[in-house]
Amino acid sequence: MADDSQVVSQVLAGQTEAFEVLILKYQQPLFNYIGRMVAERETALDLTQEVFLRAFAGLKTYNPQYNFRSWLVRIASHLIIDQWRKKKLPQTSLDQVYEDEAGGLNSFSPADTKALSVTTQYEINELIHRVEEAVEKIPRELRELFLWRYVNGLSYAEMAEISGLPVGTVKNRVFQAKERIRAYLEVKP
Amino acid sequence: MSCLSLVEVDDYLEKEIAPEKAKSVEEHLLVCPDCRAAVANRRRFLEACSRLPDLPLPLNWAKTVMAKILSVGPTLPILILAAIAGLSFLFSSFRFLLGSLRPETSAPAFEFRLPLLGLVKSALLLLVKAAVAVTSGFRTFLRPDRFSFPGTGWPFSVLTLELAAGLFMAAVVFVFLLAYYYRLGLTREKKVSG
């Protein structure tokens, strides 16, 4: 399969149809991310389509040195934020979400068996199903980073670049997201 | 090495630690059953996190998006604006032309003022036209309505069309002006010779 930047060059050279290759490649990961960030399926489909429309319209501004997937995710993230603003959804207080950002993350001890044994209670498929449920429950600022990492497979460096946050902060928040999911699994077996 | 924190377990499983550190973690795991259990549990948890199922997309959805990309053109309001601007410009041009074709019996002073008035009006309309072009072009570039002419890569947009229309109109007015002054010159020659 052609490299993303090659496909972009083809599209910019006038082979508009080549853009479909990029849609086919990224439609599923983008929809997986957007679909879990907005509740309604139709809205998620509209937003995913809008990502590709905007990407196409702004293809000339795309820097081939930048990861194309990250570029799409950045567009998607901005669209989702716009969507939230339009719907006037309540914003989660950053202080509330990240209050334990400065510490407490290293307090885990393997002796804390309750914290870890949760995974032993489920077969992996059941666990996936429960994680899916839990993802919907965590604050969206954390959920977004979690999805970038585990659904879109972005590296921490890529996530830091997209979000404008330091790598350490991104890692920290992804960890918090996982801990909230794990806490949800414990509370609702 | 002491027992692993959960952050260290994650870093180890996701290969986010240096090789030397990973080696020391592995050495610790050989002698610590608690940490081994912790790593095994966490591995399953992380595996579940990274194996969330795909959300189903409609069949041939990529084709639908592609069709949307290829078919999106100027929006109706933009077309109406462009049509109004174009028609007003045409109307002005024709009036200018009619003015320039007034009977030769008109007073010279009147003949002299008329094209000036027409020029001023045309200039004003050109400005309006340019404003409409810039506005609609701006809206066009904010929206993903732009695509390239097949095989050329030239941007095709409302702005392109508006500018092309504007240039065409300007060329028409210029030709009218030339025609008018040529006719005026002929009239004066005739009067002088008469």
Question: CA of B189, closest CA in chain A: separation in Å?
Answer: 56
What pLDDT score does B13 carry? Answer: 93
* B1 close to A (CB below 8 A): no
Cross-chain Cβ contact B55/A108 below 8 Å: no
Cross-chain Cβ contact A23/B65 below 8 Å: yes
Minimum mean pLDDT among A150-154, A161-165, B140-144, B162-166: which range?
Answer: B140-144
In angstroms, rounded to a whole number, what is the distance separating the alpha carbons of residues B168 and A144? 51
> Do the Cβ atoms of B144 and A19 come closer than 8 Å?
no
What pLDDT score does A72 carry? Answer: 94
Cross-chain Cβ contact B34/A56 below 8 Å: no
Name which of A53, A143, A145 to mutate to probe chain B: the one with the most chain B Cβ atoms within 10 A of its Cβ: A53
Q: For residue B99, what are the CA distances in angstroms to B102, B117, B119, B129, B187?
A: 5, 10, 11, 22, 15
In angstroms, rounded to a whole number, what is the distance separating the alpha carbons of residues B33 and A118? 17
In angstroms, rounded to a whole number, what is the distance separating the alpha carbons of residues A37 and A151? 12
What pLDDT score does B130 carry? Answer: 66
What pLDDT score does A14 carry? Answer: 80
Cross-chain Cβ contact A16/B70 below 8 Å: yes
- Top-confidence residue, B174 or A10: A10
- Top-confidence residue, A48 or B88: A48
DSSP code, position B155: E
* A173 close to B (CB below 8 A): no
What pLDDT score does A15 carry? Answer: 84
What pLDDT score does B142 carry? Answer: 46
What pLDDT score does A86 carry? Answer: 74
Q: Considering only the beta carbons, identify the residue of B57, B61, B147 that sits closest to A16.
A: B147
The answer for A 72-131 residues in CB contact with B (under 8 A) is: 105-111, 113, 115-120, 124, 127-128, 130-131
Q: Which residue stretches of chain A have pLDDT < 50? A: 1, 90-116, 119
Question: CA of B75, closest CA in chain A: separation in Å?
Answer: 15
Question: For residue B142, which phi and psi values (nearest 5 degrees)?
Answer: -75, -30
- The tokens describing A184, both together, are 């949800």
What is the secondary structure of A54-123 as a DSSP string?
HHHHTGGG--TTS-HHHHHHHHHHHHHHHHHHHHTPPPPPHHHHTTTSSSSGGG--TT-HHHHHGGGGS-
Burial-class residue A24 by CB neighbours within 10 Å (0-12, 13-18, 19+).
middle
What pLDDT score does A149 carry? Answer: 95
Q: For residue B170, what are the CA distances in angstroms to A9, B70, B74, B129, B164?
A: 36, 31, 23, 11, 10
pLDDT tens per residue across span B101-112: 454 444 444 444
Beta B147-148 vs B155-156: how paired, if at all? Answer: antiparallel
Q: Considering only the beta carbons, identify the residue of A14, A57, A181 that sits closest to B150.
A: A14
Q: Considering only the beta carbons, identify the residue of B45, B55, B66 that sits closest to A19.
A: B66
Q: Pick the residue from chain B with its C-alpha nearest to A46.
A: B65
The answer for B 14-33 residues in CB contact with A (under 8 A) is: 16, 32
What pLDDT score does B75 carry? Answer: 55
pLDDT tens per residue across span B10-64: 999 999 999 999 999 999 999 999 999 999 989 989 999 999 999 999 989 999 9
What is the arithmetic mean of pLDDT over B60-87?
73
- The CB density around residue A29, as the number of other CB atoms within 10 Å, is 19
| Residues A64, B52, A109, B28, CA torsion sign | negative
* B65 close to A (CB below 8 A): yes
Round the CA-based radius of gyration of chain A to a whole number and report it: 19
Question: For residue B156, which phi and psi values (nearest 5 degrees)?
Answer: -110, 120
ipTM above 0.85, yes or no: no
* B68 close to A (CB below 8 A): yes
What pLDDT score does B188 carry? Answer: 66
Q: Considering only the beta carbons, identify the residue of B49, B58, B148 that sits closest to A131.
A: B49
What pLDDT score does B30 carry? Answer: 92
* pTM tops 0.90, yes or no: no
* B168 close to A (CB below 8 A): no
Q: Pick the residue from chain A with its C-alpha nearest to B6.
A: A108
* A32 close to B (CB below 8 A): yes
Residue B145 has pLDDT above 80, yes or no: no
What pLDDT score does B136 carry? Answer: 61
DSSP code, position B154: -
